[in-house]
Chain A
Amino acid sequence: MARVVVDVMLKPEILDPQGKAVLGALPRLGFGGVVDVRQGKRFELEFEGDITEERLAEVRKAAETLLSNPVIEDYTVRVEQA
C-alpha cells in the first residue's frame, strides 16, 4: 500500500473564519504566543502498489477538480512513504 497526501488550504487572501475562531480560543485555554491560525483539510489517498507518475498526475487532477476549489483554495500533493 502506498499513500498520497493532499493538503488543501484557503488561499492567503481569503478570510478563514474558522482559523480566526481557533486563534481566539487558544489564549483562553492558556496557549500563548500564537499570532495566526489557518485551518485546512488533509486527504489521505491509499493505493495498491507503487505510486507512478501517471497516478500522481491523476491525483493532481482530482485535487484541482474535486478536493479543492481553485477559486479559493491551494493544494499540495506528496507521496508518503510507509
Chain B
Amino acid sequence: MKIGVVTFPGSLDDVDARRAVRIAGAEAIALWHGDHDLRGVEAVVLPGGFSYGDYLRCGAIARFAPVMREVVDAAVGGMPVLGICNGFQILCETHLLPGALIRNDHCKFVCRDQRLRIESTSTAWTSAYAAGAEVTIPLKNGEGGYVADEATLDRLEGDGLVVARYVETNPNGSLHDIAGIANERGNVVGLMPHPEHAVEALCGPGTDGLAFFASVVSSWAAAESLASS
C-alpha cells in the first residue's frame, strides 16, 4: 500500500509521519504541496507543523495549496485521509470536517504525553483499536481548542463521529474534550495529538499511535484480498 504524506512550507512532522507509515508496513510517498499530483497513493496524511507559518489562521493558506484540490477530490471519493494537528486544522479549513480549532483556552503552547480514549473504531484510521481503548500519545499545539456550534456537536456525538477524546485532563479547552473527529463516511479523520510520535518504544511514550497507521493498512489489505478473490 502507498500512503502519501504532504509536505507544505513549514510542515514539521512529515518525516516522522513517513517513518510511521513504513513501520506500519506501507510504502511512504512524499507529496509536495505545489504539485497537482497524488502520485498514485491509496491514502494521504496531512502532517503536523506550521504550514505557511500559521499566517492568517492555522491551515488557512495550506487549504489553497495546489495539491489540496486533489486531496479534497480524493477524500470526497472515499480515499482515507488523516490530518494530524496542523493537518486537522487544514481539514477543518477545507470544510472536509466540521468545526474549527482555536487558540488553547490558557493561551500557552502545550506539549505533553496525553491520555486519550478511542471513541470510534469504525473509521479507516482507528479500526485496529479496541473500542474504548485508552492510549497515550504526544500532544503539542498552540491552537488545538476544538470548537463547533451546538448543532454540530450534537450531530458529532449522536452519529458517533467523535474519534478520540481527552481523558484525565483537557489540555486546550476543546469542547466535549474532543481530540479527533471523522466525517460521516469515516475515511477522513482529524486528530490533534500526534500518533506518528508514538510508533517506536525507543522514542516517545510507547507505541500506542501505531494502530492509526496499521488500521488503514489492514483495511486496505482486506479490501484488496476481497477484490482479488
Contacts and interface: CB of A to CB of B under 8 A. Distances in A.
Co-assembled chains A and B: yes
Interface of A: 10, 13-15, 17-18, 20-21, 66-67, 69, 71-72
B69 interface: no
Contacts of B148: 71
Contact of A71 (B64, B92, B103): B92
Given A66-B56, A69-B93, A18 B107 contact: yes
A18 to B, nearest CB: 6
Contacts of B60: 66, 69
A15 B56 contact: no
Contacts of B106: 17
B178 to A, nearest CB: 14
A18 B103 CA distance: 8
Secondary structure at the B interface, as helix, strand, loop or mixed, is loop
Contact of A15 (B64, B93, B98, B105): B105
Contacts of A72: 100, 102, 147
Interface of B: 56-57, 60-61, 64, 92-93, 95, 98-100, 102-107, 145, 147-149, 173
A71 B56 contact: no
The CB with the most chain A CB atoms within 10 A, among B95, B99, B103, B104, is that of B103
B64 A66 contact: yes
Given A17-B103, A17-B107, A69 B145 contact: no
A72 B149 CA distance: 9
Nearest to B59: A69
